[in-house]
Amino acid sequence: MDSKRLCSGSQQQVLLRIKRTKREWRPLEDRSCTDLPWFLLFTVFCVGMGSICGFTIVTGGAARLVFGYDSYGNTCGRRNEQIEGVRLSGLDHTDRKFVFFLDPCNIDIVQRKIKSMALCVSLCPTEELKTYQDLKRFAMFNGSELCSYELAAHKYPGLPERVTKCPKLPVPPSKPLPVFNRCTPVDVSCYAQFAEAVVTFVGDNSVLHRLIAGVAASKEVIIGLCVLALVLSMILMVIIRYISAVLVWILTALVVLGSLAGTSVLWWLYVDHRLYGNDTSVKPAKEAKEEVEVIRDGGQALLVYAVSATVFTIILLLLMLFMRKRVALTIALFHVAGKVFIHLPLLTLQPFVTFIALLLFWTYWVLVLLFLGTTGNPVQNEETGLTEFRLTGPLQYLTWYHAVGLVWVSEFILACQQMTVAGAVVTYYFTRDKNRLPVTPILSSVLRLARYHLGTVAKGSFIITLVKIPRLVLMYVHNQLKGKENACARCLLKTCICCLWCLEKCLNYLNQNAYAATAINNTSFCTSARDAFVLLVENALRVATINAVGDFVLFLGKILIVTSTAFAGVLLLNYQQDYAEWLLPLIIVCLFSFLVAHCFLSVFEIVVDVLFLCFAIDTKYNDGTPGKEFFMDKALMEFVESSRRLERAVERGRSRVKEAVSEGAEMKPMAPGTSSA
């Protein structure tokens, strides 16, 4: 009796354990935190990045960047302390708030920095100073000495040191920057030369000035066209469901016709080569023999190309034949994705929110990087003799830590967008009555992410970071060794970069589906990634079709927006007769329109991918019977019904063939001599 109770109790525990581990594949109301250790690790990492910023502020790097410092290590606008071993340091520059460069055009093209001596002055020269007498007069009247501190202002014209310790004549008029107190020349011709050296395609200084003038003159048109690209992108996200079918079938027709045409041309070239390529009768025997060998090799090459193209075309036609149903699924998913944006209009704001978050973080990151450039111990430059601040010892690894933070936090922000969109789309899909959707599914998804799933997002973004950083390092090495490495090393580097890029794209796609699985099941990142991977493998052909056809349709959408914006730009810029140089404004508009279209249609692509994962889950665990009703939209339901009708028709055909075969076997005549008397 006790053994029976023990057995029944153990069976109940096993059933309870199975019930707990079995997932319903529906959005759960009761949730718990996922991947909490990774959230704590990411928090500690962000605290470390903030500590770097605090370190630069405490050690004076931020003040040196904002207020500026001279070539002796003194911060302008402040009372300074003596730096050991550096002469003219520790001066009181309370009244000298501006940084003045003796030769602002002395620029290091490689390091992209000014090599001139810098001084703290109380006033920037607003007029051109042509002689040393003008320098003396400016110093006496305004109290702003433009030569090195040890030189007396009234002795400027007669001092022999004036050539190296006074500004290069003539001194151009300058004005201070609004925030960073640097005296900047009003005539930026030397900076234009610097830009010309960096941007190598500009060969003439006048061309650069004309292009910049064209941009400045047509700024209103540029802003208007950028707004037009924004509006077109938002409209396309809604109406693409109506034109997706046309685009998909046009794409299919073009691919088939293009492959048939290419194969036909190759065979025509081969036949023409065989018929008319052997005429060598008028040439000497030796030359004719060599030409015959060349012609024969060319004919063999054409034959190989033609046969390869034929095999490719046959395989392509067979794929089109067998995957036509899956193309219909892609069209249905695009149709439902358009409905999602109608029911969830706040999805269109996701690119704005992500862009603003990335922009704020990148601004902070660049600012702290500049702080790091003016932080550290004072070091005298051996080449110029000027005092610079550099990080030495273990502190120099702060820059690397900061660089890793750029990649990880940027990927974290992008992953938050993916998780937010996935959560909203999952809520939409698994709500049978769309009129009973939450008031703000997007905000609910954001709150759910912030409360439960930041650790999952941190883990997924860290995996992408582990792949992206080696790729960026290899790209930097390849760039630095350009022209110096041998062909084998160059090929190996490019191969590694390409492999890491492909791995990063695959992981991005898997991460996106893992976030959707987390939004449904409230599981950890690894469990969600495994479940999503199993579903994707089970629907591999569908995934390939949706990615191939869908990506090309979205690419056509991007091209449509860019060409429409460029056409409007040509009309507007050409209509305004004052805009003689409108090539650069048009390029700026095209680049911006492509960026905007890419951001918006990337959100559309995420919606399509999440819808497909939900559809795969729906068709795997539900069959439309009572108690297992589908959650899918009417368009997807029609696709499922048409697929089932086709499968039933195929099954009926197979059964009829089997019946015919069995009847034929039964009606086979008996062998002679076996009949009864």
Helix H, strand E, coil C: the string for 598-650 is: HHHHHHHHHHHHHHHHHHHHHHHHCCCCCCCCCCCCHHHHHHHHHHHHHHHHH
Look at residue 594 in the predicted model and tell me its pLDDT: 87
Residue type present at position 314 = I
Q: What whole-number distance in Å separates Cα of residue 230 and Cα of residue 52?
A: 37
Backbone angles phi, psi at 118, to 5 degrees: -120, 140
Helix H, strand E, coil C: the string for 381-445 is: CCCCCCEEEECCHHHHHHHHHHHHHHHHHHHHHHHHHHHHHHHHHHHHHCCCCHHHCCCCHHHHH
Structure tokens at 365: 């990151």
- pLDDT of 13-33, one tens digit each? 444 444 444 456 666 667 788
Which secondary structure element, helix H or strand E, spans residue 84, and what is its range?
none
Structure tokens at 441: 């599914």
Answer yes or no: are the C-beta atoms of 560 and 233 closer than 8 Å.
no
Look at residue 621 in the predicted model and tell me its pLDDT: 82
Answer yes or no: are the C-beta atoms of 298 and 573 closer than 8 Å.
no
Structure tokens at 183: 């005296």
Give the distance, in angstroms, between the CA of residue 101 and the centroid of all CA atoms in the same chain. 39
**Residues in the chain, how many?**
677
pTM above 0.95, yes or no: no
- pLDDT of 114-125, one tens digit each? 567 888 998 888
Mean pLDDT rounded to a whole number for the chain: 78
Range 128-137, long-range pairs (CB < 8 A, 24+ positions): 128/170, 128/171, 128/172, 128/173, 129/167, 129/169, 129/170, 129/171, 130/169, 130/170, 130/171, 131/157, 131/169, 132/156, 132/157, 132/162, 132/166, 132/169, 133/157, 134/171, 135/166, 135/167, 135/171
SS3 184: strand
* Residue with the two structure tokens 């959650």: 631
Mean pLDDT for 150-171 is: 83
pLDDT band, very low/low/confident/very high, at 675 (cuts 50, 70, 90): very low
Backbone angles phi, psi at 227, to 5 degrees: -65, -40
Q: What whole-number distance in Å separates Cα of residue 394 and Cα of residue 392?
A: 7
Look at residue 331 in the predicted model and tell me its pLDDT: 78
Question: Dihedral sign, CA of 283, 287, 290, 291?
Answer: negative
Answer yes or no: are the C-beta atoms of 458 and 42 closer than 8 Å.
yes
Nearest to 456 by CA among 500, 543, 521, 387: 521
Answer yes or no: are the C-beta atoms of 520 and 617 closer than 8 Å.
yes
Give the distance, in angstroms, between the CA of residue 471 and the centroid of all CA atoms in the same chain. 14
SS3 671: coil
Answer yes or no: are the C-beta atoms of 182 and 68 closer than 8 Å.
yes
Q: What whole-number distance in Å separates Cα of residue 635 and Cα of residue 611?
A: 12
Give the bridge partners for 121, in sequence order.
98
Answer yes or no: are the C-beta atoms of 561 and 236 closer than 8 Å.
yes
Q: What whole-number distance in Å separates Cα of residue 446 and Cα of residue 458?
A: 15
User: Residue 296 to residues 274, 277, 278, 280, 301: CA-CA distances in angstroms?
Assistant: 9, 9, 9, 13, 9
Answer yes or no: are the C-beta atoms of 67 and 181 closer than 8 Å.
yes
- pLDDT of 324-361, one tens digit each? 666 777 778 888 888 888 888 888 888 889 999 999 99
Look at residue 20 in the predicted model and tell me its pLDDT: 41
Look at residue 86 in the predicted model and tell me its pLDDT: 81
Q: Please give the residue that has the higher pLDDT: either 164 or 411.
A: 411
DSSP state of 111: T
Range among 11-15, 191-195, 433-437, 582-586 rated most confident: 433-437
Residue type present at position 413 = I
Give the distance, in angstroms, between the CA of residue 385 and the centroid of all CA atoms in the same chain. 42
- pLDDT of 576-635, one tens digit each? 544 445 667 778 888 888 888 888 888 888 888 898 888 888 888 887 778 777 788 777
From 266-275, 324-333, 403-412, the region with the lowest mean pLDDT: 324-333
Nearest to 512 by CA among 420, 447, 405, 443: 420
Measure the CA dihedral 618/620/626/629, to 10°: 10
* Residue with the two structure tokens 């430059």: 381
Question: Dihedral sign, CA of 480, 485, 490, 493?
Answer: negative
Residue type present at position 549 = V
Answer yes or no: are the C-beta atoms of 114 and 191 closer than 8 Å.
no
Nearest to 438 by CA among 423, 460, 454, 455: 423
Q: Please give the residue that has the higher pLDDT: either 155 or 11.
A: 155
* Those residues with Cβ within 8 angstroms of residue 62's Cβ, 6 or more apart along the chain or in another chain: 56, 371, 374
Answer yes or no: are the C-beta atoms of 91 and 75 closer than 8 Å.
no
